[in-house]
Structure 1
Amino acid sequence: MTSTPPAPRLADLRERWLSAVIAALQGDAKVAGVALVGSLGAGRADDWSDVDLLVVVEDLDDYAVPGRLPQGPGRLAFEIDARHNGPRGTRAISAQYVVEDLPLWVDWHLHPVSLANWPSDSSVIFDRRGIAPTPATLSEYLNRGEHEPATPKTDDEHDAMRLALIPIAAKQVARQSPDAARTIEYLGGDHTADQLSALDELLNQFEHLGRADSLAAGRAYVELLRGAIR
């Protein structure tokens, strides 16, 4: 049985980013509560895990705008409206930050107090309003009822997202997940080729976008992966 190779630098960057962002959210009186969700919240994260945060706010419209959320010790390289990933009345933003030249993917789930519960597989960081827990898992919680409609995206936005998702494919390669080939194919790469070579070629394909931060961070991540699996 094979195991996922360690990547302690990724875990360290993630934890330092989280520490700074949580401190910023705790210092914001308009934030009613925050929980870790996804693999971190459920206690099954590894060094390669990304960040999923459920942020409960008093005024949803104040937060679901570009650049509103704390960036931590990094810089924002990409963000996109992902409200279609949640029920009506909520918002979601997917973002890539570059922390010490490596990418960190964060899915922000933004919910108003009136619609909020803590999913059963979340880890509550703080709660100022006594928000009730729910027996529903995060997946069940996000898929309840009718979803928010997706916002239209331009071709450039789709390409920028595919570039930002290359490290997600690399993470799947590190875990030897069958999802890696499917993600590489979705991103426009050759899923039948050597996976590291396919990731390199994908990065080359997106050079024309002029998104230097995402491109350099993607290359650094693939090189980290290459060293980890040798």
Structure 2
Amino acid sequence: MTTARAAWLDETIRTLARHTWVGGIWLVGSLGRGEADAYSDVDLVVAVDHTAPTTVFTDPVAGLGISGHILYRRPKPRNAPKDGAYLAVGIDLAGLPVLVDVFVWPAATATVSAGATVVYERDVLPRSTLGFIPLMDQHRSDDRRGSDPDAPGTVLMLVQLAGKHLVRGNQPKLAGICDQLAIPTDSCEVTALRTVLDQRIDTVTYMDSTEGVRAVHRLLDLIERHLAGTLGPAIENSPDQH
């Protein structure tokens, strides 16, 4: 997973840097801080100028030309920077889902948060002493819509996040995700997460979710093996953004 994620990220950065309207690219979250593990998400911020195509804002992944087989999408407009865009997607890497959060930020206000890693900048970007979330709170979109809690993309993403926090032993974050999934905290384990996948996502109605369900099940297989100790020690707790 780690090797595939790194290769995908290198390709993505090269692709984005070719666009003349991309002014900068940086990573936030655990990858930005250099604290990532195999289960870490990719939190990618892209600064674009006024010449960027409209599709960059209506569909950031397609508009930016980000490669990879998408297993699910989870839009949440209120996560976007003002006049920008946001989309979370699960991308199939090495047969497993890797969560990628894409933030499109207009270059006129784009600012690199403290703890971020800049991987490309056409011109020097302004820096802030604030962390990503506090900085975003100062530049939050006027669109206050959240995500659809019953959409397959939301369920797939939340189950994936719950699995990550479970294997890390991060009980506070696990409890928060399980609450969103309506799973009692004391029974939020791999078996319960599998049940949510199978009962809340109808792959007959949502045929395009079939691959995503299978991939998240494979991820849960891996997490079970980690928890059982057959893949070595469990992952250390890591303070990701989610």
Structure 2 residue aligned with 1:138, among 132, 148, 156?
Answer: 132
SS of the counterpart of 1:192? helix
Answer whether contact 2:74 2:153 (CA < 8 A) is retained.
Answer: no
Superposed displacement of residue 153, structure 1 = 5.6
Bigger mean CA deviation after superposition, 145-154 or 181-190? 145-154
Which residue of the partner structure matches residue 169 of structure 1? 162
Structure 2 residue aligned with 1:149, among 131, 143, 162?
Answer: 143
Which residue of the partner structure matches residue 64 of structure 2? 69
Superposed displacement of residue 122, structure 1 = 0.8
The amino acid of 1:70's aligned partner reads G
Structure 2 residue aligned with 1:55, among 46, 50, 59?
Answer: 46
Superposed displacement of residue 14, structure 1 = 1.4
Gaps of 5+ in 2: 229-242
Tell me the distance in 2 between the aligned counterparts of 1:34 and 1:153: 25
Tell me the distance in 2 between the aligned counterparts of 1:203 and 1:83: 24
Bigger mean CA deviation after superposition, 147-156 or 111-120? 147-156
Superposed displacement of residue 218, structure 1 = 0.6
Shift in alpha-carbon separation, 1:155–1:48, aligned structure 2, 3 A? closer
The amino acid of 1:167's aligned partner reads Q
Q: Does 1:97 align with 2:91?
A: yes
Answer whether contact 2:58 2:85 (CA < 8 A) is retained.
Answer: no
SS of the counterpart of 2:185? coil
Bigger mean CA deviation after superposition, 17-26 or 207-216? 207-216
Structure 1 residue aligned with 2:197, among 197, 203, 227?
Answer: 203
Q: Does 1:121 align with 2:115?
A: yes
Bigger mean CA deviation after superposition, 38-47 or 205-214? 205-214
Superposed displacement of residue 57, structure 1 = 0.7
Shift in alpha-carbon separation, 1:38–1:154, aligned structure 2, 3 A? closer
Answer whether contact 2:113 2:135 (CA < 8 A) is retained.
Answer: yes
Q: TM-score, normalised by structure 1?
A: 0.86
Shift in alpha-carbon separation, 1:22–1:122, aligned structure 2, 3 A? same
Answer whether contact 2:77 2:146 (CA < 8 A) is retained.
Answer: no
Answer whether contact 2:22 2:47 (CA < 8 A) is retained.
Answer: yes
Superposed displacement of residue 215, structure 1 = 0.2
Superposed displacement of residue 168, structure 1 = 0.8
Tell me the distance in 2 between the aligned counterparts of 1:152 and 1:20: 30
Q: Does 1:224 align with 2:197?
A: no
Structure 2 residue aligned with 1:214, among 212, 215, 233?
Answer: 212
Map 1:1-16; keep pairs closer than 5 Å: 10-16=1-7
How many residues in Structure 1 have an aligned counterpart in Structure 2? 219
Aligned-residue Cα RMSD (Å) equals: 2.1
Superposed displacement of residue 160, structure 1 = 2.8
Q: TM-score, normalised by structure 2?
A: 0.82
Aligned identity (percent) is 22
SS of the counterpart of 1:120? coil
Shift in alpha-carbon separation, 1:153–1:87, aligned structure 2, 3 A? closer
